[in-house]
């Protein structure tokens, strides 16, 4: 086994000064949850770093899982050794020998964090570099643009030798920035919005509106599957609130205000969501809206819709293009599920020409004229079904031609 540990580096977390301890604890818990299936793996941390001791497990699958966790900026498989010159040289040789294709150029970058070590970083660059050059006559040093950068991190307890720095998902540890409700439809956008919100440290509970029997059981299964997929990234369970929306939707559809029906529906959704937020302690609502994508996502529409709630509306995708959103959906493994053909409650009632510029006063007047709307909202809240979803194995990766490798 060339690499015996994986070193994990934190991201945004370093900026959070006082909360640091708590964040590090959350991070460690997250790592433990994600690696619960790997028997014998152990953990330890130093300031700003978390180490996973592999105890015989190959590093690739472990790193593959860890790079999807929120709050880590990068990780490296490392070979650890005693902090002595000969031990470090020998570990450096082992790592170089393990490279698949022998490089033509390299450089050594030594960082001496332990000031008790007898040689300076500069001296060590030469001492290790010369040792390697003697063993690989074809190899030469290129300090500007080497094919391989052999990094040597000298700490008191051990020295870590590695050459790969794998980017991770970034953001904050899951749940370190509070809780929000995610409006989850069966579409492409909202699961991506949920992933982005979770990446920024929000714990998320999903809320889905269905119009059974107009919408099918499969449409519900699809949303359940999407929510379940999101739990893979947090490593913990997620609540999904399934709200019966049929009565409200059919009432709104009969209001004779066809072009405003989407505006009215969205406002009703927000009111219900606000009520759910009260009982679940959520401080915001996340949606998959993207500016200008459809009639309900113009600035004017979002203005009128957003006034139905006091809670902050978080719209991670607001400035993104559809293709950018689709690319993320591929990478996080929600795309294949999202494009399954089952009808969404809103598409069923979609008018021919929805308003792109609704008037708040008019909308409020219509709502006031719809006797019983607030009772219907109460009933929907009361009859909401809550299910709890648990992380399972990752869905098969789809092959998106535009997918970049190792994006996370
Ligand atoms: P998506 O791909 O997420 O469905 P969209 O581009 O189709 O988004 P809309 O259908 O206009 O856009 O919905 C805008 C947002 O409203 C969605 O991203 C989602 O957050 C929320 N939403 C829409 N329909 C539902 C629903 N049935 N249940 C819960 N939230 C919904
Ligand atoms: Mg939709």
CA-186 nearest atom, ligand 1: 4
- Of all protein residues, whose CA lies closest to atom 12 belonging to ligand 1? 289
Peptide bond into 213 cis (omega under 30): yes
CA dist 206 and 185 (Å) reads 9
CATH class in words for 179-389: alpha beta
CA dist 19 and 28 (Å) reads 14
Fold adopted by 5-167: VC0802-like (3.30.2130)
- Of all protein residues, whose CA lies closest to atom 9 belonging to ligand 1? 289
Instruction: Please say whether the beta carbons of 167 and 67 come within 8 A.
Output: yes
pTM for the model: 0.90
pLDDT in tens, 206-229: 999 999 888 888 999 999 999 999
Evaluate whether 5-167 and 179-389 have a shared fold: no
pLDDT in tens, 160-184: 999 999 999 999 999 989 999 999 9
CA-296 nearest atom, ligand 1: 11
pLDDT in tens, 34-50: 999 999 999 998 877 89
Residue 347 has pLDDT above 90, yes or no: no
Q: Which one, of 149, 56, 134, 51, lies nearest residue 99 by Cα?
A: 149
* Ligand 1: centre distance to CA 309 (Å): 17
* Ligand 1: centre distance to CA 344 (Å): 9
CA-190 nearest atom, ligand 1: 3
Domain boundaries, the chain: 5-167, 179-389
CA dist 245 and 249 (Å) reads 6
- The pick from 208, 242, 288 for probing ligand 1's pocket by mutation, whose C-beta has the most ligand atoms within 8 angstroms, reads 288
Residue 392: pLDDT band with limits 50, 70, 90: low
Residues above pLDDT 90, as percent of the chain: 78
Instruction: Give me the mean pLDDT over the 99-115 stretch.
Output: 94
């Amino acid at each position: 086994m060339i690499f015996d540990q994986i070193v994990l580096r934190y991201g945004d977390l370093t900026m959070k000064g006082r909360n640091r301890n708590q964040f590090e604890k959350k991070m460690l818990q997250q790592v433990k949850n994600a690696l619960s299936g790997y028997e014998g793996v152990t953990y330890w941390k130093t300031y700003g770093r978390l180490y996973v001791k592999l105890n015989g497990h190959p590093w690739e699958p472990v790193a593959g899982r860890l790079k999807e966790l929120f709050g880590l900026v990068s990780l490296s498989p490392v070979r650890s050794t005693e902090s002595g010159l000969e031990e470090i040289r020998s570990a450096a040789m082992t790592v170089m020998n393990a490279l698949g294709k022998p490089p033509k150029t390299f450089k050594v970058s030594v960082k001496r964090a332990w000031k008790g070590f007898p040689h300076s970083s500069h001296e060590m660059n030469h001492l290790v570099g010369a040792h390697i050059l003697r063993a690989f006559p074809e190899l030469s040093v290129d300090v500007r643009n080497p094919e391989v950068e052999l990094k040597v991190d000298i700490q008191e307890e051990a020295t870590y030798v590695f050459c790969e720095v794998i980017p991770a998902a970034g953001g904050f540890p899951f749940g370190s920035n509070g809780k929000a409700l995610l409006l989850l439809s069966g579409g492409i956008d909202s699961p991506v919005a949920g992933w982005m919100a979770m990446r920024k440290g929000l714990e998320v509970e999903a809320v889905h509106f269905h119009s059974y029997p107009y919408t099918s059981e499969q449409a519900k299964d699809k949303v359940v599957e999407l929510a379940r997929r999101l739990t893979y990234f947090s490593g913990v369970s997620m609540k999904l609130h399934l709200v019966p929306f049929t009565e409200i939707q059919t009432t709104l559809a009969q209001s004779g205000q066809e072009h405003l029906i989407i505006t009215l529906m969205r406002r009703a959704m927000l009111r219900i969501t606000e009520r759910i937020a009260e009982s679940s302690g959520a401080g915001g609502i996340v949606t998959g809206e993207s500016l200008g994508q459809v009639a309900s996502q113009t600035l004017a529409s979002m203005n009128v819709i957003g006034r139905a709630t006091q809670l902050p509306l978080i719209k991670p995708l607001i400035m993104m293009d559809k293709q950018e959103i689709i690319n993320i959906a591929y990478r996080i493994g929600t795309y294949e599920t999202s494009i399954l053909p089952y009808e969404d409650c809103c598409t069923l009632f979609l008018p021919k020409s929805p308003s792109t510029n609704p008037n708040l006063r008019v909308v409020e007047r219509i709502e006031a004229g719809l006797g019983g709307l607030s009772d219907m909202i109460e009933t929907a809240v009361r009859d909401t079904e809550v299910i709890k979803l648990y992380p399972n194995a990752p869905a098969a990766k789809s092959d998106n031609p535009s997918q970049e490798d190792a994006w996370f």
